[in-house]
Structure 1
């Protein structure tokens, strides 16, 4: 969830993006006022009633988050400018069958509040968040207990349902293609490039090795970037002595 304090920014005033693992599967923003499927497996398996219901819930969140960003601004004694309040929650199914969850807030790119999912109380990560966490943790409000129910009894069943919908796509395994090339920077230095692309899922490790055993720290690594077909790519480069009589190889795991 992202809320922007000033309508004059290039961002929607309010937006929601939903993910299963690294796959975006739905989104909403205050320009369209519609919660929409992003993947075919969500569009195929959930009908109009689901999207209408979730759209109404998202619409109801808009005024709440607009109020929250103004409250956060007041905590910092801010009266203008562009400020961003974000929240993120989720649940996970682990390989051993256990489950987990999280809920956290950020303000202007910094951690603001997080939910302690052992004690189910909110923890302020800066002084300006203390008033809010005291109220949420009070016996009258007990906001953490409400989110305990949401993460354990609503999020987990929904996640299981979404995994079943998109299992073929979510569990797809595509090995990377790899291209390696070099460019002489000077008489003494050559820059080696390794491009791994077309792989899925997203996690990958790419490293340069000297003589098959010595790991060379990269001096430049691109982010892992998505392709339109749902696969990913990453580029890793390193500078090595041009005249050194060693062999270099790129290892992708």
Structure 2
């Protein structure tokens, strides 16, 4: 099941989180045939970075996951959610067939995903999203301003035209849910899990460099931080951003914290400095950790040469002493 969650989060990208905000996201995933460890249908809920609940066609029920959800939500709540999610499963299976037909796919393994999300920021403002993907590509989304569905693939035009019809007005229903019910549930979950969700752990930072000819590859490892949202980048002379050569995803640690690594390639010039910039909600102000270029030191070489000279002279002295003594003895 962990493989399933990883695939969902990779294929269905999430808009970047706003500092000190909270978000509630639901991922609906349907596949055209069993495979890759995925059930034919699943719903996974997240508040920020913590999984709150799960429904799948394998278990046929909705279950709480986060400990603070298990503690606070009552059994009758999960009974109601199970009935709703069973209905969602039937509807989604139908939609999967429609999307396949639109793209002229009659078989094979394909994945249809929908993500809806609502975000509550610390200033009280809200942001909501609704995205639809097929095999990892977005094919349509809900424009919240106009409450209309916008196709991003030609094959989605028939569906968006149907859903936008005045007698259906599906966009308005989705918009109303996201801006009201979704925010209401999010606020309740924030109260349930405030201890975990608002935990602040300062990041550790380690910078290293590896030279290869004229080019030096600089690595900035930021680790042990919580919550997940973080801004990491390399800077030249403390002011200029350097385009990243490689950035990993923000990865979870076993203790519930996170890590990320940002790498750049530079050609160091005398007088230039390179620093890793880290901004996180646990910090009063951003960190700027400087990369210290290693200088070649001749001191160990000098000491070694001096030691060798002393040994040679000592050996020569011993030989001379023995030679003189032998002459005197003779």
Task: Within 5 Å, give how 1:98-247 maps onto structure 2.
Answer: 98-186=125-213, 188-241=214-267, 244=270, 246-247=272-273
Q: Identify the residue that residue 26 of structure 1 maps to in structure 2.
A: 53
Q: Identify the residue that residue 81 of structure 1 maps to in structure 2.
A: 108
Equivalent residue for 2:276, pick from 229, 250, 253: 250
Large movers: runs of 4+ above 6 Å: none
Aligned length: 252
The answer on whether the counterparts of 1:176 and 1:198 sit within 8 Å (CA) in structure 2 is: yes
Q: 1:69 to 1:183 in 2, by over 3 A?
A: same
Cα displacement (A) at 1:48: 1.4
CA offsets 1:149-190 (integer angstroms, 9 cap, x no match): 32233212111101111112111211101122233334x444
1:242 CA displacement: 6.9
- Relative to its length, the structure with more helix (as a share) is 2
Q: TM-score, normalised by structure 1?
A: 0.89
For residues 125 and 264 of structure 2, the distance between their equivalents in structure 1, rounded to whole angstroms, comes to 41
Distance in 2 between the 1:38 and 1:83 partners?
27
Report which stretch shifted further, 99-108 or 61-70: 99-108
Name which of 13, 25, 29 aligns with 1:2: 29
Distance 1:35 1:240, change over 3 A: same
Distance 2:274 2:75 in 1: 56
**Structure 2 Cα separation of the partners of residues 147 and 239 of structure 1:** 45
Instruction: Give the distance between the partners of 2:46 and 2:132, measured in 1 at CA.
Output: 17
Q: Which stretch shows the higher mean deviation, 105-114 or 88-97?
A: 88-97
Normalization by structure 2: what TM-score? 0.70
| TM-aligned CA distance change 1:138 to 1:238, over 3 Å | closer
The structure with more strand, counted as a fraction of residues: 1
Paired residue secondary structure (1:166): helix
| Shift in CA distance, 251/146, structure 1 to aligned 2, threshold 3 Å | closer
CA RMSD of aligned residues (A): 2.2
